[in-house]
Chain A
Amino acid sequence: MRAVPALLLAALVAPVVLGLWQTGRAAFGIMPALGRETPSLEPWRQLFALPGLGGSIRLSLVSGLGAAILSLLIALALVQALQGRLSAARAARWLAPFLAVPHAALAIGMAFLLAPSGWIARALAPLMDWTRPPGAASVNDPWGMALMLGLMVKEIPFLMLVILAALGQVPLARIMAMGRALGYGPGAVWLRLVLPAIWPMLRLPFWVVLVYSVSNVDMAIILGPANPPVLGVAVTRWFVSPDLAMILPASAGAILQAGLAGAVIAAAWGAERLAARLGPAWLARGGRGPAGAPGWMAGAVLRLAAMAGLVLMAAGLLAMAALAIWSLAFRWPFPLILPEAWSLNAWSMTAPGWRRALMTSVLLAGTTASLSLALAVAWLQAAPARMRAEWLILLPLLVPQIGFLHGLNVVFLRAGLQADLLAVGMGQMLFVFPYVLLSLSGPWRAVDPRLMRTAAALGAGPWRRLVAVRLPVLLRPLLTAWAIGIAVSVAQYLPTLYLGAGRVATLTTEAVTLASGSDRRVSGVYASLQALVPLLAYACAFVIPAWWHRDRRALAGAFR
């Protein structure tokens, strides 16, 4: 039992390291399967000769950094604006749909919203006298703006939850009261006192967001520019190119992507060190802003950001609605706001396809989420206190997927593991388990230790303490962690693509493929299903504990 955390850590870290190592070897010309045995710099020369590489790198950096930094700013502003009105528990309920909906489904919905023939243009049409969709490239725009918006809609809610959880760990009310009594405005107190206090808890989640933003593939395929695309998409194209020799420069590109993520993290770390170095002097100056208007600048920026955040959240909800409506539309000519004729045709005609994809997705999600939950319980049972190495479980989230997944596929094949459902499931575990463990560990450790001691004093051994006290008390967080696991699994694109060698079709791989097709109704069907599965899991996580504990005031939080 004691060894569980160490074993699980090894099982998470080893595939990342092995995959990176394998990709790295290919990047330097060693690929025995292709008969390449001698190290060379040729793949790098090829990579840098590829057209558009510079543009891809620049796009990844600009859209990724932009989305991550703006998301952090907006999440902070929204939490600050809603402070006092929004408990962590209520926020979790409101933000759940945004966390549940997979990146690809949201991206497809955002495309339905932003496209020249999308909802926004339809709403503007009467004002602008448009009878045909305007010619602007409002999706797949060469600057990656649509991609940034899509990323932000997913990242802001995640960061808000992280911030709210961190705020629960500091005496927020007292810090606010003290700061304001000293003459600082609320925004100024946030910047000077609250943010430094919670940043240690935000650092790693922010890095995860940074890495995802500069390296994501599925959202960028749907919303990002096509020529040149962001680096992740370009590398994916090279990896799946029919010319097998492209694997070598693609591997170099994958390593470049990992390096890019590393550089971005290093920059974030540097900025943090700089702030820590300069901060104390700035704080000691005691500036309270111009007399009479303490912190009005900070206040104005925060208000603007909070407003932008609300607009983005509304756009996200509309995007989700657009998915469902398109899937049910029969005829929906521009510039009508709603379809002229409705039908279930899109659903019934694609039924054989989506049924199979749905089964595969549900099977994968159910298995990986349930297994992750069991392993997380085993981990926390064996290591009740935080371990120093615990941050390592985030490694699969801190290294861009593209950097190690192709290599991992090679490792799997060499170990005799076919590219099939099992391999995909194992690959997904690398991403599902960390989220499940992270989500469960806080509530698990917050259980009053005296409650467990009381149970022991009443004669309950370790097993009974777990099954009869801890698990029932934690029913809600257990189911929430499981729902998060479902959402993470359903959303996986690259692990399914690479470890299934393109042969395992899930709702997500199908939705991404269909998104570039011409029939919005069909991609509406797949994207709706893709969003529906995790939403149902989240609904279970709210309803089941509320019903189970309906007569237990201390545990029945959700609907009160």
Chain B
Amino acid sequence: MSLILEHVTITRPDGAKLIRGLTLNVAPGSVTTVMGPSGIGKSTLLDAIAGSLAPGFALSGRITLNGRDLTALPPERRRIGLMFQDALLFPHLSLAGNLAFGLDPRIRGRAARAQAVDEALAEAGLAGLGLRDPATLSGGQRARAALMRTLLAAPEALLLDEPFGKLDMSLRDEIQRFVFDHAAARGVPVLLVSHDPQDAAAAGGPVVALA
């Protein structure tokens, strides 16, 4: 069971091919790092896997996750978690509200959901901050909250687009460990996009260079 890309090619609205015939197999619990120069189409590749390609872009090839063919599914039905350089917490919700937004709908009942959120907050070292405005959190707190929100949706794969790019050196190690450990513990395949060889080294998995 894993995230599998077969002969994936992405065509831009102007006809240029961004990714040509990419084949990849990301095993559960492992991190594959995609590297390449700016503008080569790394973010676009993640958009394609998540199902949010901008209008005009065309995808060919096959993408499967745990045996399900994703190509025809809308993004909300793919069960793929996303993280970007910015945490992108919803600005109108409290921290707990953000986590509850992501929490798997199969967990029912007010009390059960509140408890799941509290546990996730504690796990991210954010215990007691549930009512805080996300705009008042520190960068590290925000990054951890964003990961927990993603994980609460019980994704079957994680796509990370330069998630450590804005963090300073000391924080970077901590968040890297936090993300990779949680992903490994849940056994989900992770695709990481990065410019930084150090990220790839920390991820410890295969590296794919786009050119």
Q: Name A residues whose Cβ lies closer than 8 Å to a Cβ of B.
A: 385, 448-451, 453-462, 465, 468-469, 472-473, 475, 549, 551-555
State how many angstroms separate the Cβ of A468 from the closest Cβ of chain B.
Answer: 7
A459 x B105 contact (CB < 8 A): yes
Hey, what's the 0/1 contact readout for B84-124 against A, CB within 8 Å counting as 1? 10101011101000000110110000000000000000000
State how many angstroms separate the Cβ of A4 from the closest Cβ of chain B.
Answer: 16
Write the chain B residue with the least CB distance to A384: B55
B79 within 8 A of A: yes
Partner of A453, one of B55, B82, B86, B134: B82
Given A459-B76, A461-B76, A553-B136, A454 and B82 contact (CB-CB distance below 8 Å):
yes
A554 x B91 contact (CB < 8 A): yes
Interface majority SS (helix, strand, loop, mixed), chain A: helix
The 4 A-B pairs of least Cβ separation, nearest first, read A456-B75, A553-B135, A554-B91, A458-B102
Write the chain A residue with the least CB distance to B82: A457
Given A460-B101, A468-B101, A454 and B88 contact (CB-CB distance below 8 Å):
yes
Q: Name B residues whose Cβ lies closer than 8 Å to a Cβ of A.
A: 47, 50-52, 55, 74-82, 84, 86, 88, 90-92, 94, 101-102, 104-105, 133-136, 149-150, 153, 155
- Having A449-B52, A459-B153, one finds 20 other A-B pairs with CB under 8 Å, namely A450-B86, A450-B88, A451-B88, A453-B50, A454-B82, A456-B52, A457-B75, A457-B80, A458-B149, A459-B76, A472-B92, A473-B91, A552-B91, A552-B133, A552-B135, A554-B133, A554-B134, A554-B135, A555-B91, A555-B92
> What separation, in Å, do the CA atoms of A458 and B102 have in the docked complex?
5
B74 x A461 contact (CB < 8 A): yes
- 13 chain-A/chain-B pairs, Cβ below 8 angstroms: A451-B88, A454-B88, A456-B75, A457-B80, A457-B153, A458-B76, A458-B102, A458-B149, A458-B153, A459-B77, A469-B90, A552-B91, A555-B91
Q: Which residues of A contact B105 (CB under 8 A)?
A: 459
Partner of B84, one of A450, A469, A472, A473: A450
B76 x A473 contact (CB < 8 A): no
A453 x B92 contact (CB < 8 A): no
For A456, A459, A551, which residue has the most chain B Cβ atoms within 10 angstroms? A459
> What separation, in Å, do the CA atoms of A279 and B86 have in the docked complex?
42
Q: Which residues of B contact A454 (CB under 8 A)?
A: 82, 84, 88
A456 x B88 contact (CB < 8 A): no
Q: Which residues of A contact B80 (CB under 8 A)?
A: 457
Q: Which residues of B contact A458 (CB under 8 A)?
A: 76, 81, 101-102, 149-150, 153
Write the chain B residue with the least CB distance to A453: B52
State how many angstroms separate the Cβ of A429 from the closest Cβ of chain B.
Answer: 29
